[in-house]
A and B are shown apart, each in its own frame.
Chain A
Amino acid sequence: MAMTPLKSLRARDSALASTREQVRRLESTPGLPRFDGTLAGAGLHPLRATGITVFQINVGKLCNQTCRHCHVDAGPDRAEMMSRGTAEQCMSALARTDIPTVDITGGAPELNPVFRYLVEESVRLGRRVMDRCNLSVLLLPSQADLAGFLARHRVEVVASLPSLVQTQIDAQRGAGVFEKSLEALRRLNALGYGKPGSGLVLTLVTNPVGAFLPPAQEAQERQFRERLARVHGIVFNALYTITNMPISRFLEFLLETGNYEGYMQRLVEAFNPAAADGVMCRYTLSVGWDGRLYDCDFNQMLDLPIGGGAPNHIRDFDPGHLMTRRIVTGNHCYGCTAGAGSSCGGSTT
Protein backbone atom coordinates (compact mmCIF):
# COMPACT_ATOMS: atom_id res chain seq x y z
CA MET A 1 0.00 0.00 0.00
CA ALA A 2 1.41 3.40 -0.94
CA MET A 3 2.07 5.52 2.09
CA THR A 4 2.49 9.22 2.46
CA PRO A 5 5.36 10.27 4.73
CA LEU A 6 4.28 10.01 8.32
CA LYS A 7 4.59 12.34 11.23
CA SER A 8 4.61 11.10 14.78
CA LEU A 9 1.33 10.63 16.64
CA ARG A 10 2.46 13.48 18.87
CA ALA A 11 3.00 15.84 15.93
CA ARG A 12 -0.42 14.95 14.54
CA ASP A 13 -2.14 15.48 17.89
CA SER A 14 -3.53 11.97 17.59
CA ALA A 15 -5.57 10.69 20.51
CA LEU A 16 -3.17 7.74 20.56
CA ALA A 17 -0.29 10.09 21.41
CA SER A 18 -1.67 9.73 24.92
CA THR A 19 -0.26 6.59 26.52
CA ARG A 20 -3.24 6.61 28.85
CA GLU A 21 -5.54 6.34 25.83
CA GLN A 22 -3.48 3.45 24.44
CA VAL A 23 -3.67 1.59 27.75
CA ARG A 24 -7.39 2.30 28.02
CA ARG A 25 -8.03 0.74 24.62
CA LEU A 26 -5.85 -2.27 25.35
CA GLU A 27 -7.41 -2.93 28.73
CA SER A 28 -11.01 -2.46 27.61
CA THR A 29 -11.06 -4.55 24.44
CA PRO A 30 -14.30 -6.56 24.40
CA GLY A 31 -13.75 -10.30 24.63
CA LEU A 32 -10.02 -10.03 25.33
CA PRO A 33 -9.01 -12.11 28.36
CA ARG A 34 -6.90 -10.12 30.79
CA PHE A 35 -3.21 -10.92 30.43
CA ASP A 36 -2.73 -11.36 34.17
CA GLY A 37 -5.50 -13.99 34.20
CA THR A 38 -3.88 -15.85 31.31
CA LEU A 39 -0.54 -15.70 33.15
CA ALA A 40 -2.21 -17.06 36.27
CA GLY A 41 -3.70 -19.89 34.26
CA ALA A 42 -0.17 -20.85 33.22
CA GLY A 43 1.04 -20.66 36.84
CA LEU A 44 3.24 -17.64 36.11
CA HIS A 45 1.46 -14.87 37.99
CA PRO A 46 2.88 -12.67 39.36
CA LEU A 47 5.77 -12.40 36.96
CA ARG A 48 9.06 -11.59 38.69
CA ALA A 49 12.49 -10.60 37.48
CA THR A 50 15.16 -13.31 37.60
CA GLY A 51 18.09 -10.88 37.58
CA ILE A 52 19.48 -8.28 35.19
CA THR A 53 21.66 -9.37 32.31
CA VAL A 54 20.66 -6.64 29.86
CA PHE A 55 20.96 -2.94 30.66
CA GLN A 56 18.86 -1.35 27.94
CA ILE A 57 19.16 2.40 27.47
CA ASN A 58 16.68 4.26 25.31
CA VAL A 59 18.42 7.56 24.59
CA GLY A 60 15.37 9.24 23.09
CA LYS A 61 12.77 9.53 20.40
CA LEU A 62 14.67 11.39 17.69
CA CYS A 63 14.94 9.35 14.51
CA ASN A 64 15.65 10.03 10.84
CA GLN A 65 12.83 7.63 9.88
CA THR A 66 9.14 7.59 10.79
CA CYS A 67 8.22 3.93 10.54
CA ARG A 68 4.58 2.99 10.37
CA HIS A 69 4.85 0.35 13.10
CA CYS A 70 7.13 2.25 15.51
CA HIS A 71 6.32 1.47 19.15
CA VAL A 72 8.29 4.52 20.26
CA ASP A 73 6.41 7.05 18.10
CA ALA A 74 9.87 8.22 17.10
CA GLY A 75 10.71 10.53 14.23
CA PRO A 76 12.49 13.67 13.10
CA ASP A 77 9.82 15.72 14.86
CA ARG A 78 10.56 14.28 18.31
CA ALA A 79 13.02 16.15 20.52
CA GLU A 80 13.14 14.04 23.69
CA MET A 81 16.81 13.13 24.18
CA MET A 82 18.87 11.77 27.06
CA SER A 83 21.17 14.41 28.57
CA ARG A 84 24.85 13.94 29.30
CA GLY A 85 24.08 14.04 33.02
CA THR A 86 21.57 11.19 32.78
CA ALA A 87 23.97 9.23 30.58
CA GLU A 88 26.64 9.60 33.26
CA GLN A 89 24.18 8.36 35.87
CA CYS A 90 23.57 5.31 33.65
CA MET A 91 27.26 4.54 33.45
CA SER A 92 27.74 5.13 37.16
CA ALA A 93 24.97 2.61 37.84
CA LEU A 94 26.39 0.13 35.32
CA ALA A 95 29.82 0.32 36.92
CA ARG A 96 28.33 -0.86 40.22
CA THR A 97 27.14 -4.11 38.61
CA ASP A 98 28.46 -6.95 36.52
CA ILE A 99 25.59 -6.73 34.01
CA PRO A 100 27.24 -8.12 30.87
CA THR A 101 25.25 -6.46 28.08
CA VAL A 102 24.44 -2.83 27.31
CA ASP A 103 21.71 -2.46 24.68
CA ILE A 104 21.37 1.06 23.28
CA THR A 105 18.19 1.97 21.47
CA GLY A 106 15.96 4.90 20.46
CA GLY A 107 14.75 6.44 18.05
CA ALA A 108 17.93 6.31 16.11
CA PRO A 109 20.23 6.24 19.14
CA GLU A 110 23.27 7.26 17.12
CA LEU A 111 21.77 10.74 16.57
CA ASN A 112 22.05 11.54 20.27
CA PRO A 113 25.45 13.06 21.17
CA VAL A 114 25.58 10.86 24.31
CA PHE A 115 25.52 7.69 22.18
CA ARG A 116 29.26 7.64 21.61
CA TYR A 117 29.94 8.42 25.27
CA LEU A 118 27.75 5.48 26.31
CA VAL A 119 29.54 3.16 23.87
CA GLU A 120 33.02 4.25 24.94
CA GLU A 121 32.26 4.05 28.64
CA SER A 122 30.47 0.69 28.39
CA VAL A 123 33.40 -0.76 26.43
CA ARG A 124 35.82 0.66 29.02
CA LEU A 125 33.82 -1.21 31.64
CA GLY A 126 34.25 -4.38 29.63
CA ARG A 127 30.64 -4.85 28.61
CA ARG A 128 29.18 -6.19 25.37
CA VAL A 129 27.49 -3.28 23.59
CA MET A 130 24.58 -3.56 21.16
CA ASP A 131 23.41 -0.73 18.89
CA ARG A 132 19.78 -0.96 17.68
CA CYS A 133 20.44 0.54 14.26
CA ASN A 134 17.91 1.47 11.58
CA LEU A 135 20.69 1.20 8.95
CA SER A 136 19.76 4.35 7.00
CA VAL A 137 21.33 6.45 9.76
CA LEU A 138 24.71 5.15 8.61
CA LEU A 139 24.26 7.02 5.32
CA LEU A 140 23.56 10.44 6.83
CA PRO A 141 26.34 12.93 6.05
CA SER A 142 26.56 13.80 9.75
CA GLN A 143 27.23 10.12 10.52
CA ALA A 144 29.88 9.45 7.91
CA ASP A 145 32.27 8.11 10.55
CA LEU A 146 29.63 6.12 12.46
CA ALA A 147 30.26 2.68 10.95
CA GLY A 148 33.98 3.02 11.63
CA PHE A 149 33.29 4.12 15.21
CA LEU A 150 31.09 1.06 15.77
CA ALA A 151 33.72 -1.26 14.31
CA ARG A 152 36.55 0.23 16.38
CA HIS A 153 34.58 -0.35 19.56
CA ARG A 154 33.45 -3.84 18.51
CA VAL A 155 29.82 -2.80 18.91
CA GLU A 156 27.31 -5.46 17.89
CA VAL A 157 25.06 -3.91 15.26
CA VAL A 158 21.46 -5.07 15.57
CA ALA A 159 19.94 -3.85 12.35
CA SER A 160 16.31 -3.63 11.28
CA LEU A 161 15.49 -5.36 8.00
CA PRO A 162 11.88 -6.55 8.14
CA SER A 163 11.62 -7.96 4.65
CA LEU A 164 13.51 -8.84 1.48
CA VAL A 165 11.04 -6.94 -0.69
CA GLN A 166 11.47 -3.28 -1.54
CA THR A 167 7.77 -2.44 -1.55
CA GLN A 168 7.25 -3.95 1.89
CA ILE A 169 10.20 -2.23 3.53
CA ASP A 170 9.38 1.12 1.96
CA ALA A 171 5.71 0.82 2.97
CA GLN A 172 6.69 0.23 6.58
CA ARG A 173 9.84 2.30 6.96
CA GLY A 174 9.55 5.04 4.34
CA ALA A 175 10.28 5.58 0.65
CA GLY A 176 13.80 4.63 -0.35
CA VAL A 177 14.65 2.86 2.91
CA PHE A 178 15.08 -0.55 1.25
CA GLU A 179 17.93 0.62 -0.97
CA LYS A 180 19.49 2.62 1.86
CA SER A 181 19.33 -0.43 4.11
CA LEU A 182 21.12 -2.60 1.57
CA GLU A 183 23.78 0.06 1.02
CA ALA A 184 24.35 0.36 4.77
CA LEU A 185 24.64 -3.44 5.09
CA ARG A 186 27.23 -3.47 2.29
CA ARG A 187 29.24 -0.80 4.13
CA LEU A 188 29.09 -2.83 7.33
CA ASN A 189 30.17 -5.97 5.47
CA ALA A 190 33.07 -4.03 3.94
CA LEU A 191 34.28 -3.23 7.46
CA GLY A 192 34.11 -6.91 8.36
CA TYR A 193 30.69 -6.97 10.01
CA GLY A 194 29.03 -10.34 9.51
CA LYS A 195 32.22 -11.87 8.12
CA PRO A 196 33.62 -15.03 9.71
CA GLY A 197 36.58 -14.43 11.98
CA SER A 198 36.17 -10.65 12.15
CA GLY A 199 34.57 -10.64 15.59
CA LEU A 200 32.27 -7.89 14.31
CA VAL A 201 28.74 -9.10 14.87
CA LEU A 202 25.91 -8.10 12.57
CA THR A 203 22.48 -9.26 13.67
CA LEU A 204 19.37 -8.62 11.60
CA VAL A 205 15.98 -7.98 13.15
CA THR A 206 12.82 -8.73 11.23
CA ASN A 207 9.27 -7.95 12.20
CA PRO A 208 6.13 -8.68 10.20
CA VAL A 209 5.13 -6.05 7.67
CA GLY A 210 1.51 -6.17 8.80
CA ALA A 211 -0.96 -7.64 11.27
CA PHE A 212 0.36 -11.16 11.51
CA LEU A 213 2.87 -13.14 13.56
CA PRO A 214 6.52 -13.58 12.57
CA PRO A 215 7.82 -16.81 11.01
CA ALA A 216 9.90 -19.33 12.92
CA GLN A 217 13.23 -17.61 13.56
CA GLU A 218 15.42 -20.39 12.18
CA ALA A 219 13.40 -20.68 8.98
CA GLN A 220 13.44 -16.92 8.47
CA GLU A 221 17.20 -16.79 9.06
CA ARG A 222 17.80 -19.53 6.46
CA GLN A 223 15.65 -17.67 3.93
CA PHE A 224 17.32 -14.31 4.54
CA ARG A 225 20.82 -15.79 4.55
CA GLU A 226 20.31 -17.50 1.21
CA ARG A 227 18.55 -14.59 -0.52
CA LEU A 228 20.74 -11.78 0.79
CA ALA A 229 23.90 -13.65 -0.20
CA ARG A 230 22.63 -14.77 -3.61
CA VAL A 231 20.88 -11.61 -4.75
CA HIS A 232 22.68 -8.84 -2.89
CA GLY A 233 26.02 -10.31 -1.79
CA ILE A 234 25.29 -9.46 1.85
CA VAL A 235 26.22 -11.62 4.87
CA PHE A 236 25.23 -11.46 8.53
CA ASN A 237 25.73 -13.47 11.71
CA ALA A 238 22.26 -14.03 13.14
CA LEU A 239 18.65 -13.01 12.73
CA TYR A 240 16.03 -12.21 15.34
CA THR A 241 12.30 -12.27 14.68
CA ILE A 242 10.21 -9.82 16.70
CA THR A 243 6.44 -9.59 17.01
CA ASN A 244 4.86 -6.20 16.41
CA MET A 245 3.60 -4.83 19.71
CA PRO A 246 0.02 -3.48 19.61
CA ILE A 247 0.96 -0.04 20.92
CA SER A 248 1.72 3.41 19.52
CA ARG A 249 1.84 3.67 15.72
CA PHE A 250 1.30 -0.06 15.17
CA LEU A 251 -1.82 0.23 17.33
CA GLU A 252 -2.90 3.09 15.11
CA PHE A 253 -2.34 0.92 12.03
CA LEU A 254 -4.36 -1.92 13.56
CA LEU A 255 -7.26 0.36 14.43
CA GLU A 256 -7.28 2.23 11.12
CA THR A 257 -7.23 -0.94 9.04
CA GLY A 258 -9.82 -2.86 11.06
CA ASN A 259 -7.21 -5.40 12.14
CA TYR A 260 -7.08 -4.63 15.86
CA GLU A 261 -9.48 -7.22 17.24
CA GLY A 262 -8.29 -9.96 14.88
CA TYR A 263 -4.65 -9.28 15.73
CA MET A 264 -5.27 -9.32 19.47
CA GLN A 265 -7.24 -12.53 19.09
CA ARG A 266 -4.34 -14.02 17.15
CA LEU A 267 -1.92 -13.06 19.94
CA VAL A 268 -4.20 -14.54 22.61
CA GLU A 269 -4.74 -17.79 20.69
CA ALA A 270 -0.97 -18.12 20.27
CA PHE A 271 -0.21 -17.51 23.98
CA ASN A 272 2.69 -19.80 24.84
CA PRO A 273 3.49 -20.44 28.54
CA ALA A 274 7.11 -21.26 27.64
CA ALA A 275 7.44 -17.91 25.90
CA ALA A 276 5.85 -16.17 28.89
CA ASP A 277 8.33 -17.86 31.21
CA GLY A 278 11.24 -16.50 29.16
CA VAL A 279 10.10 -12.93 28.47
CA MET A 280 12.89 -10.37 28.30
CA CYS A 281 11.53 -8.15 31.07
CA ARG A 282 12.61 -10.83 33.56
CA TYR A 283 16.27 -10.18 32.81
CA THR A 284 16.24 -6.63 31.41
CA LEU A 285 16.31 -3.20 32.99
CA SER A 286 15.07 -0.47 30.66
CA VAL A 287 16.19 3.12 31.19
CA GLY A 288 14.26 5.95 29.57
CA TRP A 289 15.71 9.11 28.03
CA ASP A 290 14.84 10.99 31.23
CA GLY A 291 16.41 8.36 33.50
CA ARG A 292 13.22 6.69 34.61
CA LEU A 293 13.31 2.90 34.96
CA TYR A 294 11.02 0.36 33.33
CA ASP A 295 10.71 -3.39 32.95
CA CYS A 296 11.03 -3.15 29.16
CA ASP A 297 11.03 -0.70 26.26
CA PHE A 298 7.33 -1.36 25.64
CA ASN A 299 6.33 -0.50 29.20
CA GLN A 300 8.50 2.57 28.81
CA MET A 301 6.51 3.68 25.78
CA LEU A 302 3.25 3.17 27.68
CA ASP A 303 4.54 5.18 30.67
CA LEU A 304 4.32 2.11 32.93
CA PRO A 305 7.36 2.49 35.23
CA ILE A 306 8.66 -0.32 37.41
CA GLY A 307 6.44 -1.04 40.35
CA GLY A 308 6.70 -2.67 43.73
CA GLY A 309 8.15 0.35 45.45
CA ALA A 310 11.63 -0.04 43.89
CA PRO A 311 13.41 3.26 43.15
CA ASN A 312 12.35 4.18 39.64
CA HIS A 313 15.07 6.58 38.49
CA ILE A 314 18.60 5.69 37.45
CA ARG A 315 20.07 8.18 39.96
CA ASP A 316 18.59 5.99 42.72
CA PHE A 317 19.70 2.72 41.08
CA ASP A 318 19.33 -0.11 43.58
CA PRO A 319 20.18 -3.48 42.01
CA GLY A 320 19.12 -5.36 45.14
CA HIS A 321 15.54 -4.22 44.75
CA LEU A 322 15.50 -4.52 40.99
CA MET A 323 16.85 -8.06 40.64
CA THR A 324 13.68 -9.68 41.98
CA ARG A 325 11.12 -6.96 41.29
CA ARG A 326 7.59 -7.78 40.28
CA ILE A 327 7.08 -7.06 36.57
CA VAL A 328 4.34 -4.62 35.54
CA THR A 329 2.13 -6.35 32.97
CA GLY A 330 -0.88 -5.53 30.80
CA ASN A 331 -2.69 -6.75 27.71
CA HIS A 332 0.09 -5.44 25.45
CA CYS A 333 2.25 -8.22 26.93
CA TYR A 334 0.45 -10.73 24.71
CA GLY A 335 2.80 -9.43 22.02
CA CYS A 336 5.81 -11.00 23.75
CA THR A 337 4.16 -14.30 24.66
CA ALA A 338 2.64 -15.34 21.34
CA GLY A 339 3.98 -18.31 19.39
CA ALA A 340 7.70 -18.77 19.82
CA GLY A 341 7.81 -15.62 21.94
CA SER A 342 9.34 -12.27 21.13
CA SER A 343 12.00 -10.13 22.69
CA CYS A 344 14.73 -7.68 21.75
CA GLY A 345 16.81 -10.84 21.37
CA GLY A 346 14.33 -12.51 19.06
CA SER A 347 12.19 -15.54 19.82
CA THR A 348 12.37 -16.85 23.38
CA THR A 349 11.62 -20.55 23.03
Chain B
Amino acid sequence: MDTYYHPKDLGHFADMGKANPALWEKFMAYYGAVFAEGALTEREKALIALAVAHAVQCPYCIDAYTQASLEKGSNIEEMTEAVHVACAIRGGASLVHGVQMRNVATKLSM
Protein backbone atom coordinates (compact mmCIF):
# COMPACT_ATOMS: atom_id res chain seq x y z
CA MET B 1 0.00 0.00 0.00
CA ASP B 2 1.34 3.44 -0.88
CA THR B 3 2.09 5.73 2.01
CA TYR B 4 4.13 8.86 2.53
CA TYR B 5 6.22 7.05 5.15
CA HIS B 6 8.18 3.84 4.46
CA PRO B 7 10.11 2.25 7.35
CA LYS B 8 12.93 1.30 5.00
CA ASP B 9 13.42 4.95 4.04
CA LEU B 10 15.18 5.53 7.36
CA GLY B 11 18.02 3.41 6.01
CA HIS B 12 18.30 5.80 3.06
CA PHE B 13 18.71 8.90 5.21
CA ALA B 14 22.27 9.29 3.91
CA ASP B 15 20.87 9.83 0.41
CA MET B 16 20.27 13.39 1.56
CA GLY B 17 24.02 13.89 1.19
CA LYS B 18 24.03 13.11 -2.51
CA ALA B 19 23.05 16.52 -3.81
CA ASN B 20 25.06 18.47 -1.26
CA PRO B 21 27.73 16.40 0.50
CA ALA B 22 29.28 19.38 2.24
CA LEU B 23 26.14 20.35 4.11
CA TRP B 24 25.36 16.71 4.89
CA GLU B 25 28.80 16.14 6.37
CA LYS B 26 28.55 19.26 8.49
CA PHE B 27 25.16 18.20 9.74
CA MET B 28 26.33 14.69 10.57
CA ALA B 29 29.46 15.93 12.34
CA TYR B 30 27.27 18.22 14.44
CA TYR B 31 24.72 15.45 15.01
CA GLY B 32 27.41 13.04 16.18
CA ALA B 33 28.89 15.61 18.54
CA VAL B 34 25.47 16.43 20.00
CA PHE B 35 24.79 12.80 20.92
CA ALA B 36 28.26 12.04 22.30
CA GLU B 37 28.68 11.64 26.05
CA GLY B 38 29.06 15.08 27.62
CA ALA B 39 27.52 16.80 30.61
CA LEU B 40 24.58 14.52 29.81
CA THR B 41 25.03 10.78 29.27
CA GLU B 42 24.29 9.16 25.92
CA ARG B 43 21.36 7.44 27.61
CA GLU B 44 19.87 10.72 28.81
CA LYS B 45 20.32 12.29 25.38
CA ALA B 46 18.58 9.37 23.70
CA LEU B 47 15.63 9.78 26.09
CA ILE B 48 15.41 13.50 25.27
CA ALA B 49 15.51 12.64 21.57
CA LEU B 50 12.75 10.09 22.10
CA ALA B 51 10.56 12.71 23.77
CA VAL B 52 11.26 15.27 21.05
CA ALA B 53 10.53 12.65 18.40
CA HIS B 54 7.03 12.36 19.86
CA ALA B 55 6.62 16.11 20.06
CA VAL B 56 7.52 16.54 16.39
CA GLN B 57 5.71 13.27 15.59
CA CYS B 58 8.46 11.88 13.38
CA PRO B 59 7.94 8.13 12.88
CA TYR B 60 11.53 7.64 11.73
CA CYS B 61 12.84 9.32 14.89
CA ILE B 62 10.45 7.35 17.11
CA ASP B 63 11.68 4.12 15.52
CA ALA B 64 15.34 5.09 15.79
CA TYR B 65 15.25 6.52 19.31
CA THR B 66 13.12 3.75 20.76
CA GLN B 67 15.84 1.34 19.65
CA ALA B 68 18.59 3.73 20.74
CA SER B 69 17.02 4.23 24.17
CA LEU B 70 16.78 0.48 24.71
CA GLU B 71 20.36 0.01 23.56
CA LYS B 72 21.57 2.76 25.89
CA GLY B 73 19.99 0.95 28.83
CA SER B 74 16.65 2.67 29.29
CA ASN B 75 13.60 0.60 30.06
CA ILE B 76 9.99 0.91 29.00
CA GLU B 77 8.98 2.71 32.20
CA GLU B 78 11.58 5.43 31.68
CA MET B 79 10.74 5.72 27.98
CA THR B 80 7.03 6.02 28.77
CA GLU B 81 7.77 8.82 31.23
CA ALA B 82 9.81 10.58 28.55
CA VAL B 83 6.84 10.45 26.18
CA HIS B 84 4.62 11.86 28.93
CA VAL B 85 7.05 14.75 29.35
CA ALA B 86 6.65 15.51 25.64
CA CYS B 87 2.89 15.18 26.02
CA ALA B 88 2.77 17.47 29.04
CA ILE B 89 4.82 20.16 27.34
CA ARG B 90 2.72 19.94 24.18
CA GLY B 91 -0.48 20.09 26.21
CA GLY B 92 0.88 22.81 28.46
CA ALA B 93 1.95 24.83 25.43
CA SER B 94 -1.63 24.81 24.22
CA LEU B 95 -3.03 25.61 27.61
CA VAL B 96 -0.67 28.46 28.36
CA HIS B 97 -1.85 30.17 25.18
CA GLY B 98 -5.16 30.36 26.95
CA VAL B 99 -3.66 33.33 28.76
CA GLN B 100 -3.47 35.09 25.39
CA MET B 101 -7.07 34.10 24.76
CA ARG B 102 -8.04 35.53 28.13
CA ASN B 103 -6.10 38.75 27.49
CA VAL B 104 -7.88 39.29 24.19
CA ALA B 105 -11.27 38.30 25.58
CA THR B 106 -10.81 40.57 28.57
CA LYS B 107 -9.89 43.49 26.38
CA LEU B 108 -12.89 42.96 24.11
CA SER B 109 -15.42 42.26 26.81
CA MET B 110 -17.32 44.56 29.08
Contacts and interface: CB of A to CB of B under 8 A. Distances in A.
A311 interface: no
Interface stretch (B67-75, B86-94, B99-107): B67-75
Given A163-B75, A215-B43, A223-B43, 11 more contacts: A165-B75, A165-B76, A208-B71, A209-B75, A212-B67, A212-B71, A214-B73, A216-B72, A216-B73, A219-B42, A223-B73
A201 interface: no
19 contacts: A164-B75, A165-B76, A165-B77, A167-B76, A168-B76, A208-B70, A208-B71, A209-B75, A212-B67, A212-B70, A214-B73, A215-B72, A215-B73, A219-B41, A219-B42, A219-B43, A219-B72, A220-B73, A223-B43
A216 B45 CA distance: 14
Max chain A C-beta neighbours (<10 A), residue from B41, B71, B73: B73
Q: Which 9 A-B pairs have the closest CB atoms?
A: A215-B73, A212-B70, A165-B75, A213-B71, A220-B73, A212-B71, A215-B72, A223-B73, A212-B67
Nearest to B72: A215
Give the secondary structure class of A's interface.
loop
Interface string B36-51: 0000011100000000
Contacts of B43: 215, 219, 223
B87 to A, nearest CB: 21
Interface residues of A, number: 16
A210 interface: yes
Contacts of A210: 70
A76 to B, nearest CB: 28
A334 to B, nearest CB: 16
Interface of B: 41-43, 67, 70-73, 75-77
Nearest to A210: B70
Contacts of B77: 165
Given A165-B76, A165-B77, A168-B76, A214 B71 contact: yes
Interface string A81-92: 000000000000
A213 B76 CA distance: 15
B40 to A, nearest CB: 12
Contacts of A219: 41-43, 72-73
Contacts of B73: 214-216, 219-220, 223
A171 to B, nearest CB: 10
Interface string A207-229: 01110111110011001000000
A208 B73 CA distance: 8
